[in-house]
Amino acid sequence: MLTVETRFMIKDMYRNGSTVSDIARVTGHSRRTIRAVLTGPVDRPRQRRKGRVKKLDPFVPYLERRIGEGVLNCRKLLDEIQKQGYQGSWSTLKAFVKPYREVRRRQATVRFETEPGEQAQVDWAYFGFIEHHGRRRRLYAFLMTLSWSRCLYVEFTVSANLAWWLRCHVHAFHYFGGVPRVVLHDNLKTAVAGRDGDGKVHWNRRYLDFADYYGFKPQACQPYRAQTKGKVESAVRYVRGNFWVGLFFGDLDDLNHQRLEWLDTTANLRVHGTTGEVPFDRLLKEGLLPLGDKPDYDTSLIDFRRSTNDCLVSYDGNYYSVPSDYARKLVQVKETEERELIILDERDNEIGRHCLAEGRNQRIAVPAHYQNIRYRSGPSKRLGATQLPALWSPDALPAAPEVEARPLVWYDQILEVAL
């Protein structure tokens, strides 16, 4: 006697393209039994007393068809059959759908394997908060797994923006010694700008330029199909359960130093449970695309700012000076991986360079940026008297005229003569 779950699994396998012989071989039932299931209902009617009909019975064929189409949302199914006249309860429908849900959860999947050097899978993972440069920041982990060798790269950052998305790729390529031909990931905004109604991917322009620079093909998973990149999903669980648990670290640099040591001595030197081999040993056979001698891709975070009257641009909560000729002008700012802020004019010429400040509301000024500002004896509409107090010294002011000192009696004598 076949259960409802088994009958549904057989029908679902047949809908997905399996032949009768394939299904018989997988399930262990005869082809005659398989054909009987395919031509019959999933839920064989039970013997009931004459005249007893449940309120859901007239809608069972419709529900089986919708469930076969992948609709398992009870709220949606309830709305649909209520429009057709169903007057039964929510719990009755929920009990009917429950076995189908369990079959879908237990449904077997096929592991997808790739050729050496063919694919890497990438993901971000969230690890709470960390104190970084005097500020409380979110802590992320970037993970890249080579699908064939299962060699793993991990890096912790306090940002998951486009700049760090690209930088971590570059670091992973150097760690592996080459570039995979395909990089598989979620539909992250740093990679996928959007999709059309027909599912066509529109890529982030800079990420696509980055992929072209290194010669790999980006590939985005179908929405809500996280199991497509199951290898890196498993790596996330491995990092949480092996490296992260019970870990103590001082700061971000210390954390990344420990993760690199863990990668080199534990993660990539263990015998992998699936391949039965050491990832570092298989890495030698990956055949990745060579990096060559070309310089690393410029991963600077690029943005635009308009400077203020007092020749400052705001960036990440702090203020940095620009030459006075660029006051109230639009300038380009680039944050480098070395924590430098480079300021460029509209022609990409460098006009300023600063080390990024820690904390917030700091003002970093270069005195040379204010040398061309002329002193005004009266109040100015363009430059307030209190805007640059720290940049002016008494030596910068013009000399006062010499005045002869006279006694007050002298002025009284002048007044008597005038009267």
Q: Print the domain residue range for 336.
A: 301-396
Tell me how many domains the chain contains: 3
pLDDT of residue 108: 47
Q: In angstroms, how far is the first alpha carbon of the chain from the final one?
A: 135
- For residues 245 and 238, give the distance between their C-alpha atoms in angstroms, rounded to a whole number: 10
Q: Are residues 142 and 257 in the same domain?
A: yes
End residue of a domain, out of 257, 283, 309: 283
Q: Domain for residue 411, yes or no?
A: no
Selected residue with higher pLDDT from 330 and 337: 330
Pairing relationship of beta strands 340-344 and 350-355 according to DSSP bridges: antiparallel
Report how far residue 7's alpha carbon sits from residue 407's, in angstroms, rounded to the nearest whole number.
Answer: 119
Tell me: do 157 and 88 sit in the same domain.
Answer: no
- Of the pLDDT bands very low, low, confident and very high (cuts 50, 70, 90), residue 254 is very high
pLDDT in tens, 219-239: 888 765 555 667 888 899 999
The answer on pLDDT for 320 being more than 50 is yes
Q: Report the alpha-carbon distance of residue 258 to residue 292 in Å, rounded.
A: 29
CB within 8 Å of 292: residues ≥ 6 apart:
none
Asked if the model's pLDDT at residue 390 lies above 60, the reply is no
Q: Is the pLDDT of residue 398 over 50?
A: no
Asked if 180 and 279 sit in the same domain, the reply is yes
Lowest mean pLDDT among 33-37, 139-143, 402-406: 402-406
Is residue 406 a part of any domain in this protein? Answer: no
The amino acid sitting at 223 is P
Q: What tokens were used for 411?
A: 């002025």
Residue 311 near residue 324, CB atoms below 8 Å? yes
Which one of 256, 283, 310 terminates a domain? 283
Percent of the chain's residues with pLDDT above 90: 26
Asked if 95 and 144 sit in the same domain, the reply is no
Which of 374, 369, 390, 381 minimizes the C-alpha distance to 324? 369
Residue 261 has pLDDT above 90, yes or no: yes
Which pLDDT score is estimated for 268? 95
pLDDT confidence of residue 95: 87
| Statement to judge: residues 344 and 254 lie in one domain | no
214 plus 363 within the same structural domain? no
- Do residues 350 and 238 share a domain? no
Q: Taking every pair of C-alpha atoms in the chain, what is the biggest distance, in angstroms?
A: 139
Establish if 408 belongs to a structural domain.
no
Mean pLDDT of 343-358: 85
Any domain includes 375: yes
Position 345 scores a pLDDT of 86
Q: Read off the pTM.
A: 0.60
Q: Would 378 be classed as within a structural domain? A: yes
Mean pLDDT of 266-291: 92
State the sign of the Cα–Cα–Cα–Cα dihedral 258, 260, 263, 269: negative
Helix runs in 107-192, H state only: 162-176
Mean pLDDT of 128-153: 92
pLDDT given for residue 412 in this prediction: 62
pLDDT band at 376 (very low <50, low <70, confident <90, very high): low
**What is the C-alpha separation between 105 and 120, in angstroms, rounded?**
27
Residues 132, 99: one domain? no
Residue 111 lies in a domain: no
Q: Distance between CA 129 and CA 136 in Å, rounded?
A: 7
For the cut 90, the answer to whether the pLDDT of residue 129 exceeds it is yes
Decide if 419 is inside a domain: no
What is residue 408's predicted lDDT score, i.e. its pLDDT? 60
- Both 276 and 128 in one domain: the answer is yes
- Give the bridge partners for 201, in sequence order: 195
Q: Is the pLDDT of residue 182 over 70?
A: yes
Q: Where is pLDDT greater, at 154 or 337? A: 154
The whole-number pLDDT of residue 414 equals: 59
Residue 291 lies in a domain: no
Q: Pick from 216, 210, 143, 145: which is nearest to 180 by CA?
A: 216
Give me the mean pLDDT over the 186-194 stretch: 84
Q: Please provide the DSSP assignment of 347-405 as one string.
A: TS-EEEEEEPPSSSS-EE--GGGGTTPPP-SS--SSS-TTSSGGG--GGGSPPPPP---
Average pLDDT in the 374-393 region?
47
Residue 110, amino acid? V
pLDDT of 331 over the 80 cut: yes
Give the C-alpha separation, 392 to 70, whole Å.
Answer: 73
pLDDT of 380 higher than 70: no
Are 378 and 330 contained in the same domain?
yes
* CATH code of residue 268: 3.30.420.10
Residue 201 confidence (pLDDT): 82
Rounded to an integer, the average pLDDT of 128-144 is 91
Looking at per-residue pLDDT, the higher value among 273 and 51 belongs to 273
Same domain, 186 and 268: yes
- What mean pLDDT is reported for the chain? 81
Asked if residues 195 and 202 have their Cβ atoms less than 8 Å apart, the reply is: yes
- Residues 366, 256 share a domain: no
Whether residue 6 is predicted with pLDDT greater than 60 in this model: the reply is yes
